[in-house]
């Protein structure tokens, strides 16, 4: 990924890292807009040509923005013709057939990884449009459409909407990442987490071991362009350890996935609850880069607009 400007700092290394992170966000935002505009302007006749010319993260995000826009247009047109969603569904199916044919051929490993991740997402998109078509959806305000994780490009910002939540894309550089198969249960889990994040809260997925709680949270973080730190908890966890973890998360703007959270001793949990309350009160002020006092440190510069905690039991 090419930065638009050179990142230099004459003082402490942490200041250089902060500037580096800001430049990363600006660069990712810029290349997503470029990739989207190149497709909309018709510079590529085939989708595979556009995919080969774009970074993997641009392919994942821009294709979702395009799908959201085309789906909403089809929903509105479906109210008049009753056939627009059927046409849109057939187009998605044809694109999936083309991508599948490409994957079966001899292609570079990195391109294969990008296309496989895109196919995983497009299969879910196909299922969504199919359900909308069968339900006869005729309004973009229908809950069947509103409950989906939708991408929009608003004034060069990539925004996510799901039910009542509205979140900005995190612009974390992720590279060519794989994606999990998205099921109806995954959708319901994501609705809960995105709603919680929109209200400056954490989420608490609970269930038997091996059911995908951690992986679903990590996959949502990929979809929203956020860094997700998985932290395996135990009865050896102390309040001071969590203090350091939360300080780092708040400054970086990352998500924390606290796995096996119920193993922490009750005495430590009470302190963690207070630490989370302090961070949430800072979040509610909606001043993303304003320093706040945390555990005696008053000059903690935060990127709190992106912060969230997911506690997994």
Q: Are strands 255-259 and 228-232 parallel, antiparallel or unpaired?
A: parallel
User: What's the chain's average pLDDT?
Assistant: 86
- What is the reported pLDDT for 86? 92
Please give the full DSSP string across 150-206, using - where no structure is assigned: EEEEETTEEEEEETTEEEE-------S---PPP-HHHHHHHHHHHHHHHTT--B---
What is each CA distance from 205 to 69, 162, 178, 235, in whole angstroms? 31, 18, 22, 20
- What is the reported pLDDT for 297? 61
State if pTM tops 0.85. Answer: yes
Crossing angle of the two packed helices 109-135 and 56-81, in degrees rounded to 10: 20
Higher-scoring residue by pLDDT: 159, 296: 159
Q: Give the Cα-Cα-Cα angle 182, 187, 189 (nearest 5 degrees).
A: 115
- What is the reported pLDDT for 82? 75
Per-residue pLDDT of 250-299, as tens digits, reads 877 888 888 888 889 999 999 988 888 888 888 887 655 567 777 766 55
Lowest mean pLDDT among 5-19, 60-74, 195-209: 5-19
pLDDT at 129 over 90: yes
- What is the reported pLDDT for 303? 44
What is the C-alpha separation between 13 and 38, in angstroms, rounded?
Answer: 37
CB-based contact 148:141 (threshold 8 Å) = no
What is the C-alpha separation between 84 and 75, in angstroms, rounded?
Answer: 7
Q: Is 289 helix (H, G, I), strand (E, B) or coil?
A: coil
- What is the reported pLDDT for 299? 52
Lowest mean pLDDT among 94-103, 167-176, 193-202, 304-313: 304-313
Per-residue pLDDT of 11-55, as tens digits, reads 778 778 878 888 888 899 999 999 999 999 888 888 899 999 999
- What is the reported pLDDT for 277? 86
Torsion angle (degrees, nearest 10) of CA 129, 131, 132, 134: 120
The DSSP output letter for 312 is -
pLDDT at 161 over 90: yes
Percent of residues, the chain, with pLDDT higher than 90: 41
- What is the reported pLDDT for 296? 66
Tokens encoding 52: 């080969």
Higher-scoring residue by pLDDT: 253, 174: 174
Higher-scoring residue by pLDDT: 1, 46: 46
Higher-scoring residue by pLDDT: 286, 192: 192
pLDDT at 301 over 60: no
pLDDT at 310 over 70: no
pLDDT at 114 over 90: yes
């Amino acid at each position: 990924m090419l930065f638009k400007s050179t990142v230099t700092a004459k003082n402490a290394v942490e200041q250089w890292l902060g500037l580096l992170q800001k430049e990363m966000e600006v660069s990712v935002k810029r290349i997503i807009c470029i990739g989207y505009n190149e497709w909309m302007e018709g510079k590529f006749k085939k989708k595979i040509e556009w995919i080969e010319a774009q970074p993997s993260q641009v392919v994942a995000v821009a294709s979702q923005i395009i799908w959201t826009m085309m789906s909403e247009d089809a929903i509105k047109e479906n109210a008049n013709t009753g056939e627009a969603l059927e046409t849109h569904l057939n187009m998605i199916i044809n694109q999936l057939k083309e991508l599948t044919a490409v994957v079966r051929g001899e292609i570079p490993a990195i391109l294969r990884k990008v296309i496989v991740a895109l196919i995983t997402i497009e299969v879910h998109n196909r299922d969504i449009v199919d359900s909308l078509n069968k339900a006869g959806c005729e309004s973009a305000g229908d809950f069947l459409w509103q409950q989906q994780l939708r991408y929009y490009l608003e004034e060069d910002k990539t925004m996510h909407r799901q039910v009542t939540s509205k979140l900005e894309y995190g612009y974390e550089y992720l590279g060519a990442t794989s994606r999990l198969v998205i099921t109806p249960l995954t959708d319901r889990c994501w609705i809960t987490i995105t709603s919680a994040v929109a209200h400056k809260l954490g989420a608490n997925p609970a269930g038997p071991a091996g059911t995908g709680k951690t992986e679903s949270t990590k996959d949502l973080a990929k979809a929203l362009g956020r860094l997700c730190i998985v932290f395996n908890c135990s009865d050896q966890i102390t309040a001071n350890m969590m203090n350091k973890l939360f300080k780092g998360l708040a400054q970086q703007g990352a998500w924390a996935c606290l796995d096996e959270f119920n193993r922490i001793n009750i005495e430590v949990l009470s302190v963690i609850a207070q630490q989370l309350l302090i961070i949430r009160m800072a979040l509610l002020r909606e001043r993303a880069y304003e320093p706040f006092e945390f555990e005696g440190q008053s000059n903690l510069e935060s990127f709190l607009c992106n912060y969230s905690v997911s506690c997994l039991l």
